[in-house]
Amino acid sequence: MILADFAFNSVNLSDQNISNSINPKKKIRSTEKKMGIIRSSFSFIMGTVCGIYIAQTYNVPNIKKLGHCAVSMAKQVEEKYRKPKSRDDV
């Protein structure tokens, strides 16, 4: 009887521990709540610094110019392989 009662109580205690860890009303410590502006934007700042370094050190192509070149080439291919207009469409 005592052994069964102990096993039953230990199951109830473990269920309470699980429900406490899942409980959304659990209080959050003030240190966990606040991140700070530098800590929250660390990846953005590091990406900017790395981008500036790479742009100054290496020969990085101009993406806008490259995009315009690709669009003009696509237009040339489209005009070259376009179906001829039929007489009924005019």
Q: What's the pLDDT score for residue 40?
A: 84
Q: In which domain, by residue range, is 45 found?
A: 28-81
Q: What's the pLDDT score for residue 3?
A: 47
Question: Residue 1 falls within a domain, yes or no?
Answer: no
Residues contacting residue 26 through CB under 8 Å, at least 6 positions apart: 20
**How far apart (Å, rounded) are the C-alpha atoms in residues 1 and 54?**
74
Whole-prediction pTM = 0.38
Q: What's the pLDDT score for residue 22?
A: 60
Question: Residue 73 falls within a domain, yes or no?
Answer: yes
Number of domains, the chain: 1
Q: Are 15 and 9 in contact (CB under 8 A)?
A: no
Tell me the mean pLDDT per 10 residues along the chain, length 90: 49 49 58 70 94 93 93 94 74
Question: Residue 16 falls within a domain, yes or no?
Answer: no
Tens-digit pLDDT profile for residues 38-50: 788 999 999 999 9
Question: Residue 55 falls within a domain, yes or no?
Answer: yes
Q: What's the pLDDT score for residue 85?
A: 78
